[in-house]
Structure 1
Amino acid sequence: MGRVLTTEMAGSIIRRVREERSMSRAELARKAGIGARTLYALEVGESENFGLGNYLKLLEILGLSLSVDVDGHTEGIAASTTNTPELPVLELADIWKNPLGGKSHGSK
């Protein structure tokens, strides 16, 4: 699995999964207790200071979790206690594929 190195990459994961779950930005923002404009800023990489707590809340709502590489060992940090084995594992290479060709979401 690839590394998330920028806020733009982290935000694009939220957007991609939100869209795959057929959830509107307004709906996800409401469930997370944040503004839709704030969520938009995160999704497009404009929010540098979003906060880990808010990001973990979004992951939980979307049924995702976070793992951290500490000295070459991946440590799982569950964002939700309701994660189930049937949830898909997303590879970063798949997240940033652009079906229309050209630049991927993370490219400028």
Structure 2
Amino acid sequence: MGKVRSAQSAGSIVRRVREEKGVSRAELSSETGIGTRTIYALEQGESRNFGLENYLKILAALGLDMSIDLKGSPAAIKQPDDLEAPLVPTFELADIWKLDGCGEK
């Protein structure tokens, strides 16, 4: 599992996995509804406003999962005893998201 800390590293992982699976950008575009030029921009780390929903579509199409490491985040704050539901932390996804199943070492 590798940590992703930039658009470039996320795009690099997407490109590497897509190529390893023998999936063309056109095939990935068809499966996700995301344009081939947009996928290319993502893979080059050039797509700044790509959106989490689109990342999740691409990851699902490639058989990847995303998890969020909450270690040291506001989620580590003890929850008051009178709350039944966990507190929802606030954090920057781009700084802490990880991809399961592959990644940079």
TM-score of the pair, normalised by structure 2: 0.69
1:71 to partner: Cα distance? 2.3
The question of 1:47 aligning with 2:47 is answered yes
Q: Secondary structure at the match of 2:3?
A: coil
Per-residue Cα deviation, 1:37-90 (whole angstroms, up to 9, x for no partner): 0000000000011000000011111111001110259xxxxxxxxxxxxxx932
TM-score of the pair, normalised by structure 1: 0.67
In the comparison of the two structures, how many residue pairs are matched? 79
Identity over aligned pairs, percent: 57
Match of 2:35 in 1: 35
Match of 2:78 in 1: none
Q: Which runs of 5+ in 2 are unaligned?
A: 74-99
The question of 1:69 aligning with 2:53 is answered no
Q: Which runs of 5+ in 1 are unaligned?
A: 74-87, 94-108
1:28 to partner: Cα distance? 0.3
Match of 2:80 in 1: none
Q: Secondary structure at the match of 1:92?
A: coil
Stretches (4+) displaced over 6 A: none
The question of 1:92 aligning with 2:104 is answered yes
User: Following the alignment from structure 1 to structure 2, what is the Cα–Cα distance between the partners of residues 30 and 67?
Assistant: 25
